[in-house]
Chain A
Amino acid sequence: MDVKLFQTIFALLFNGVAYGMILFIMSAGLSVTMGTMRVVNLAHCGFAMVGGYIAYALMTDGSVPFWLAVLLSFALTTMLGALLEFLLYRSIYRQSELKQVILTLGLALVMIASVNLVFGASVHNLDIPDVLKGNVKVLGVGLSIYRFFLIGASMIVGALIWYFIECTGVGKKLKAAVDNPGMAKCVGINVDVYFAGTFAAGCGLAALGGALGAELMPLQPFYALRYLVIVVIVVSIGGLGSIKGTLAAALGLGIIDTFGTYFFDDIGAFLVYFIMIAVLFIKPQGLFGRA
């Protein structure tokens, strides 16, 4: 095979995986809340945006180092998620989808307006530390160090999520609470607390994705709605509530989108929509979703 073509494919694959891993971190929380609590959360990307802006504010105004700013944005957004779960989301778990849509759309608008008032309408980027700047040559292709870091960090986060759900007592109780809330209550599991915790953690993960992925998806007020669609597509292709499915869909879409926009500029942009419509038409519950 032509060396040039091979190098192009290799670079595209690398960027596609980096994009896909960020999508995965951003979507994991939405998959769980939509799949298990049946909440349509149109404000999910708003939490990612808020996380990104918190990291930005801490770094520029508080001169907090990058690593700490990212961790703090995770922690603060988790707290915000817990607070909003208590104030708003708890009341709509058993409501109609339309009410959920309206409430979360309203929340997304409030987030957009607040960010716009505080930070202005211009696009912001996070300053990444010097260690992560620059490129390394692998097989003759210059690859961004930061994206290596993104892939590594997302894999660690993914592994932690898996470990937490599959290998800890808390994770097992969570699965029970989600599978059969009534039965879980009977054996003494505090279902409300588990739901609240899961929701908050999902918001925190979105914030992590927003802060780490600001290099790929720059921060701006309409972030909350602009990237909502791709996240929703990831979640619905992967199957609601399935972490494994979300990972597969995010990686697949990240790679397909990167290749699509490179090779067929025009059709590439809506390749993802065709894939989603095709997948959902054949399997309405998504690739890994439960019927």
Chain B
Amino acid sequence: MKTTLLPAGSFSQHHWKARDILPWLLAAAVFYFFDGYLALGTVIIIMIIACMSLNLVLGYAGVETLGHAAFFGIGAYTAGLYAIHVSTEPVSGLLAAAIVAGVFGTVSGYFLLRMRSLTLLMLTLAVGMAVYEFANKWSSVTGGDDGLSGISPGPLFGVFDFGLDGRTGYLYALGVLALVFLLVRTIVDSPFGLSLRGIRENISRMKLVGAPVTSRLVVVYSLSGAIAGMAGALYAQTIQVVGLESLSFDLSGNLLIMVVLGGLGRLYGPFIGAIIFLLVQDRAAAFSPQHWMFAIGLILILSVRFSDNAFVAGVAARLRRAAKW
């Protein structure tokens, strides 16, 4: 295991540069020029949010989890049920989903985050599957296998209707993404974020310097859960159907793949990973889903198998230096 030394300027890792505007320009370009892709664009934005949440715990705090879909699904079901039974107002539904998923993160994190490595992986997998089974069995409320339908959110801020063209949904998701991005950026650049990176690099040393490791992890796990819950809520409100797949292991695995693809512990990693993964998946799935799955599996295997290969590492280092996100 390599320990990377933190440079003196660790505190303000990210400075605003001209290229920080690129993703938002791209989003605007999709909105104005490629409105046939608005539905896909909305899904990509939602997944970027979910990936940022996973990147926060996995990439920055080093918490390995196989059950991140639980937060996404809990948020999606909360927002769906809120829209059906309480109020169709979307923003309060979003907040409700964030609170419920965040509380779930606090409670489960309190128990889970004392464990490390293998035990933690298996427990997060089991908790994720337990939530899935719960939603599956409690079909009187969640709709079980059929999913939860009949979600029709009211106009955003009481003004903008979620019409059939998906414009409101797209801008709504984009707005949430911008807020989440600012939040995550602030967190990872704060002293709290630095201590998370410390825990990732060397947990024993962090304990020795007196950092409250478990409570820091519980805090970041809850925050991450709330963010993933918001992503789920956006999904429920824009797609207007919530199915069991929003809680499935497949989703946890896909989120993991996207985060790793974009680069762990990098602020713009989720943007790159989710955009590439979902665009290729969209094209490939129309063509042949089997081949797509084969290809993504092969990419994962090769990426790990040759990650310590000198040639590949050299190319990657050069790319990283060129991009430096």
- Listed in ascending order, the chain A residues whose CB lies under 8 Å from chain B are 34, 38, 40, 88, 91-92, 95-99, 101-103, 105-114, 116-117, 225, 229, 232-233, 235-236, 240, 266, 269-270, 273-274, 276-277, 280-281, 284-285
Contact = CB atoms under 8 A, between A and B. Distances in A.
Contact of A107 (B117, B129, B301): B301
A97 B301 contact: no
A229 B290 contact: no
A106 B14 CA distance: 32
Given A277-B111, A284-B119, 13 more contacts: A40-B118, A106-B297, A109-B293, A109-B294, A109-B300, A116-B290, A117-B290, A117-B294, A229-B129, A269-B137, A273-B126, A277-B130, A284-B115
B67 to A, nearest CB: 10
A273 B253 CA distance: 20
Given A91-B305, A98-B58, A99-B307, A105 B300 contact: yes
A270 B134 contact: yes
A232 B126 contact: yes
Interface residues of B, number: 44
B304 interface: yes
B304 A102 contact: yes
A103 B297 CA distance: 8
A285 B249 CA distance: 24
A50 to B, nearest CB: 14
Contacts of B298: 106, 110
B187 interface: no
Contacts of A112: 293, 297
A38 B118 contact: yes
Q: Among A98, A235, A236, A284, which residue has the most Cβ atoms of chain B within 10 A?
A: A98
Interface of B: 1, 58, 64, 66, 111, 115, 117-119, 121-123, 125-127, 129-130, 133-134, 136-138, 249-250, 253, 256-257, 260, 264, 290-291, 293-294, 296-301, 303-305, 307-308
Nearest to A108: B297
Contacts of B111: 277, 281
Given A117-B294, A270-B137, A273-B133, A240 B118 contact: yes
A280 B119 contact: yes
A106 B301 contact: yes
Contacts of B119: 236, 280, 284-285
Contacts of A111: 297
A48 to B, nearest CB: 17
B300 A233 contact: no
12 contacts: A91-B308, A95-B304, A98-B64, A102-B304, A103-B304, A109-B297, A110-B298, A110-B301, A113-B291, A116-B290, A277-B126, A277-B130
Contacts of A117: 290-291, 294
B304 A99 contact: yes
Contacts of B294: 109-110, 113-114, 117
A98 B303 CA distance: 12
A273 B125 CA distance: 10
A92 B118 contact: no
A246 B122 CA distance: 15
B297 A280 contact: no
Contact of A103 (B130, B249, B300): B300
A103 B301 contact: yes
A48 B301 CA distance: 20
Contacts of B307: 99
B83 to A, nearest CB: 26
The 10 closest A-B pairs by CB, nearest first: A106-B300, A109-B297, A273-B130, A110-B297, A113-B294, A103-B304, A113-B293, A106-B301, A106-B297, A270-B133
A109 B249 CA distance: 13
A113 B297 contact: yes
Contacts of B130: 270, 273-274, 277
Contacts of B136: 269
A88 B296 CA distance: 16
Nearest to B300: A106
A109 B121 contact: no
Contacts of A106: 296-301, 303-304
Given A269-B137, A273-B126, A97 B304 contact: no
A103 B305 contact: yes
Contacts of B299: 106
A102 B299 CA distance: 10
Contacts of B308: 91
B121 A229 contact: no
B64 A97 contact: yes
A101 B259 CA distance: 13
B59 to A, nearest CB: 10
Contacts of A98: 58, 64, 260, 264
